[in-house]
A and B are shown apart, each in its own frame.
Chain A
Amino acid sequence: MTADTEVYYDPYDFEIDNDPYPVWRRLREEAPLYYNGKHDFYAVSRFQDVEQGLTDWKTYSSAKGMLLEIIKAVVEYGVELPPGNILFEDPPIHDVHRGILSRVFSPKRMLAIEPKVREFCAQTLDPLVGSGGFDFITDLGAQMPMRTIGMLLGIPDSDQEAIREAIDASLALEEGDAPKQQPIDALAYAEGLFGEYIDWRAKNPSDDLMTQLLEAEFEDEHGERRRLTRTEVLVYVSNVASAGNETTTRLIGWTGKVLAEHPDQLAAVAADRDLVPKVIEEVLRYEAPSPVQARYVTRDVEWYGETVPQGSVMLMLNGSANRDDRKFDNGDSFDIHRKSEHHLSFGFGLHFCLGASLARMEGRVALDEVLKRWPHWEVDYDGAVQARTSTVRGWTRLPVRIDA
């Protein structure tokens, strides 16, 4: 088959975002190095290329941000990014900050709260049994990640819902254009969300992650041993909360949608819930909640015979890489029985998702608790609404019908 039109990819085009996979497939086959003149960015889309690019932080820097519009704002308008956000850092400073978080945010600690998360699911889902349906997002996915992070941080339940709404609002896109960049007031914004809680927790230490962050001692980039400043803690916590909220909400939504579209596989996992972890992995691969990672190109690099000049923005399309037939047999098909292989939904290299264990646990628990109550559901697409952000892809509403 020959392509009649040249392939066009635009992360701000809602039409494409509804189902980017046909475009991404064409990128992989026809334009493995893609250039978009309208928004002035390059993109790679094959598994091997994305994996290699994400590892090579010297060439593909995160120091100017990891969203297209943020890098543009930093490069063109000289916007300054808040310090301490490990997503916007390269080594050596990245390693200092990541080291602290990695110690505090241990997989063991995350898995330890699983029983509490299950309990929250039960409280949320039990009242919905017999009601004929529920919404994967508003009834479950929107709340659970915030509550889970709240449990880790020790945030009181009453403060949690407001925090999540504020974060969602700050990430929402207007159709057609690159969004106005948001990081200018990030610090003030984080202050509004977590400032009071940090001060309260500093006076009332407990065994939560916040207390550990406040008390953690580390060697900074100047070789000085110290604790984190209040501002640094603020930035860390807002990062952890926003990164973990939004993406995990989308994971739970995709789980509901993709399984409804594959009723035979839904029946299989409903009959054998030992398959739940495999299902979550396949959902992660198939519908990456964060499918596009932007990087700033620090030197001229060659891709497929073309030169990408220093100063460009490169999009690493990890959501496309996950569908690459070169890595995954029949990559565009959803198959919970496929051979286990690592995918790029949590990124790769030094920015690999710090909360991957947490997200996996939440995805597992959410699906398991839903399946305990309902072995089958159908999406009510009239009521379903897709979320619009340039880095996170998924649903803001996903109502499902349960046949009695």
Chain B
Amino acid sequence: MRNVLSTLAIGILGAWQAASASDIIGFISLKGTPPAEVDIGPKMIEASPDCAAMYPPGKLPTTHFYVVGPKGEFADVVVSLKGVTGKSTGAGAPPATLDQKGCLYSPQILAIQTGQKLIVKNSDNCIHNVHCTPAVPGNGERNDVQMPGGADLTYTFPQPEMFLRFKCDVHPWMFAWVSVFDSPYFSVSDKDGKFVIKNVPPGKYTVEADHRKLGAQTQDVEIKDGDVTVNFTFEIK
């Protein structure tokens, strides 16, 4: 009887929290002109013609360190609540997916929770090695071979870490950076520069926006009874 009551109480509290939680929404923009992206094509043709053959002639990919829209909409910026830890729901969250397609990682920037499964697929008709190189002790470096059509690989990381690097050493231009958070309160800006951190409980927070090349910016916010908008502007000097 006691257990039933406590479960009921937790359920009601959770439902109340969800009902009173708000979203943090925002827009990220980039001011200034980023350095020109570098053509991967020559390296691809030299090292692995089978990768180059996956693209139409003259349409070989470039690096995409700065993904910027015509009006400065800045994608691939990781936004999170700074200092919020121990709230991970990763074990029960649906798995995130990282694909290898056209000898590139897709997406290149990704965020997951501690304990959340990350599925790495190989959609290419060539071999890749999936090599994750964490810098935080406990996340554990791994290097696995993945044959064309081979089984998906599953990764989980117990420790929070920003921009944990995945690479393929067979195709040394292939990189992805996975940020791992100890809470579900994070987002990655899309191609329109927009992001949403959902269901944030009321309280005072510091929102941090992190770009792999341009570093971090923060803003303080207070969640009361409605959605909050926070915008960030990165600048290239």
Indicate whether A and B interact. no
